[in-house]
Structure 1
Amino acid sequence: MGQRLCGEDIVTETARTHAVRQDGPAGLAAGGASDASADKGARRIQSVERALTIIEILAAAPDALALGEVAARAGLNVSTCHHLIATLVERGYVLNAGRNRGYMLSSRLQELTETNARKADLSDFARTDLIGLSGQLGLSVQLAEMQGAALVTRFKANVAETHVIEADEVVKMRAAHATATGKAILAWLPEDQVLKIISENGLQRFTDRTITSLADLTEELRWVRRNGFAVDNEELKTGVVCYGAALRDEKGAVIASISASMPVALATEPCREHVAQEVVGCARKLSDRLRLSRH
């Protein structure tokens, strides 16, 4: 027989653990690919093209360039070029090198590239541990992170026999307040960042257990900080309970979270305690490995 969880055989000899790497919001829009291909080149935003041209010009230049030089190379009048560069400076992509010295690229693009690479690395980095945790518990396990205000699942290790029907990923993206992965991250973010996420997403009700007030969510996040893990107690989907814990990088900052999902029928108190303990242990192990690997 397979491994037993809380007195129930939920993993049989034929059970299979499926690892699924998620590519974030872009992957959810695959249905629109044909439309995008058909419309390719039909609609171009001129200001975006011009801004990208300026970035490419500055990237190719060995030194800072004067405004007039950038305008000439981009084929723009000086006024238009100035407005575009001013926007890029304000957004942190271009630096004003000082009086009479012109403009140059900042490190912002490099930072974005490195951040994106770290995200891909994190999925690969955690893969073996998450598959192991899923097999050990006989439950589906997820890795998620915040991308702006969106909660994005980066990796899943699924066990077919858990009988848990996962919530739609598009719904989960705006449901950080109702998920274990989301609350595990929100609990450690600065207050102003949490408020910004809430202002963009709202506090939508999904079940009669969903937290829908800022006061209740604030108290819930305090609970998460005190206990070291988060709980989705049928808050996103009726009949599904999840336990989540945060992952920290080498600086101690929370960068992602993991969670395990189970049907409420199996969620006895001993089972809940066991799952919470194992999820927290796996999160700590991954955080320790991240810290050591990046020093």
Structure 2
Amino acid sequence: MPARPPMGRDHGGIQALDRAFLILDVMADAGGEAKLTEIAATAGLNVSTCHHLISTLHNWGYVARGPNSRSYVLGSRILHLSAACLRQVDLPRRAQSFVDRLNDQTQEAVQLAIMQDTNLVNILRREARHAVRVDAGFGGNANAAHAAATGKAILAWLPPSELDRIVADKGLTAFTPNTITDIEALKEELRLTRRRGFSIDREEFRPGVICLGAAIRDHAGAVVGSISVSSPAFRATQDYLDQIKVHLIAVTDELSAELGAPGATLRGSIKSIAAE
């Protein structure tokens, strides 16, 4: 992690900005979530000053309330900046060899996607090698984050307030009879996605298409995109999907490591999809 710059007016800085950036650093070092008193103590600030600064960061979306409202988490604006930074260094270029490898291993269609504000955007795709291929909807799916495996892999790790904002803007369109169109059911699906470490689209976006997706993380642990593999439903047996899952998770973990993400997660390495 880069060293923090010297703080204070003596170093040509603005004290309030120094403190605000320090708060974000402290939260990142704490794993992205911390209580107000913990942040204040670590940053060397009194609780009142720290609360005012966090309130401003909250107004800008850089900080959000935690799931139990007794802590704070890094907000969606951090993801926006991180995604913009990755786009600057060309995420498709960085991910291309990983997507190609996954395409070789699975012989199925592979997609790389990111969230741009409330839009799900596919930025790289490799077609299936099989004679019978699927149309997983490479284009025109900006409002399909709740239905597509790539979208659910990203939504699962967003703050609740950001998920609510995306749903309020895009709605929960029913693309197929299997699409989740109830917000509470979607939240439960995203909870399961977090638990198992990958997402599943069970013919929710395209009839006859099953997709598995997994998140890509950066050096701060923030989700900056996702990769999915799409298979025709007739090929998607339990054993087949379990094999795809192993390759998918290995690729996304390795790509995340290349982007600086801490540690290997070994997501879903034990449970089969049928056990979920």
TM-score (norm 1): 0.59
* 1:174 partner amino acid: N
Letter in 2 for 1:288: A
1:153-172 matches, cutoff 5 A: 153-161=122-130, 163-172=132-141
- Match for 2:201 among 216, 232, 246? 232
254 and 137 in structure 1: CA distance in 2 versus 1, 3 angstrom threshold: same
2-structure distance, mates of 1:168, 1:209:
16
Larger RCO, structures 1/2 (Cα 8 Å, 6+ apart): 1
How far does residue 165 in structure 1 lie from its aligned partner after superposition? Answer: 3.2
Closer, same or farther: CA 119–234 of 1 in aligned 2, 3 Å: farther
Which amino acid in 1 is paired with 2:157? W
Match of residue 61 from structure 1? none
Q: How far, CA to CA, are the matches of 1:113 and 1:222 in structure 2?
A: 23
1:167-202 CA-to-partner distances (Å, cap 9, x unmatched) read 444542101000100000000000010000000110
State the distance in 2 between where 1:114 and 1:167 align: 23
| Partner Cα distance (1:118, 1:238) in 2 | 32
Say which SS state the counterpart of residue 177 (structure 1) adopts: coil
2:112 matched to which residue of 1?
A: 143
Match of 2:184 among 205, 212, 215: 215
- Name the CA shift for 1:139/1:113 in 2 (closer, same or farther; >3 Å): closer
Q: Distance in 1 between matches of 2:191 and 2:248?
A: 19
Residue 256 of structure 1: aligned partner: 225
Q: Does 1:275 align with 2:272?
A: no
For structure 2, list consecutive stretches of 5 or more residues without a partner in the other structure: 1-58, 61-79, 262-276
* Alpha-carbon distance between aligned partners in 2 of 1:248 and 1:142, rounded to the nearest angstrom: 16
SS at the partner of 1:216? Answer: helix
Question: 1:113-169 CA deviation, whole Å, 9 max, x = no partner?
Answer: 992663561100010111111011100111000001110001111125353332444
Higher helix share: 1
The residue aligned with 2:216 is: 247
CA distance in 2, matches of 1:182, 1:113: 17
| Match of residue 179, structure 1, among 148, 157, 180 | 148
Aligned-partner Cα distance in 1 for 2:229–2:259: 20
Q: What is the percent sequence identity of the aligned residues? A: 39
1:130 equivalent in structure 2: 99
Runs of 5+ unmatched residues, structure 1: 1-89, 92-110
Could you tell me whether the CA contact under 8 Å between 1:139 and 1:162 is conserved in 2? no
The 1-side partners of 2:216 and 2:86 are apart by: 17
Corresponding position of 1:189: 158
- What amino acid does structure 2 have at the position aligned with 1:137? T
Mapped to 2, the partners of 1:275 and 1:128 lie a distance apart of: 17
Counterpart for residue 50 of structure 2: none
Query: For 2:141, what is the secondary structure of its paired residue?
Result: helix
How many matched pairs? 187
TM-fit CA distance, 1:281? 1.1
Between the aligned partners of 1:278 and 1:173, the Cα distance in structure 2 is 26
Residue 180 of structure 1 aligns with an amino acid whose one-letter code is A
The 2-side partners of 1:208 and 1:216 are apart by 14
- 2:251 and 2:258 mapped to 1: Cα distance? 11
Alignment partner, residue 284 of structure 1:
253
- Does the CA contact (< 8 Å) of 1:164 and 1:261 recur in 2? no
Rounded to whole Å, the distance in 2 between the matches of 1:130 and 1:181 is 13
Q: CA RMSD in A?
A: 2.6
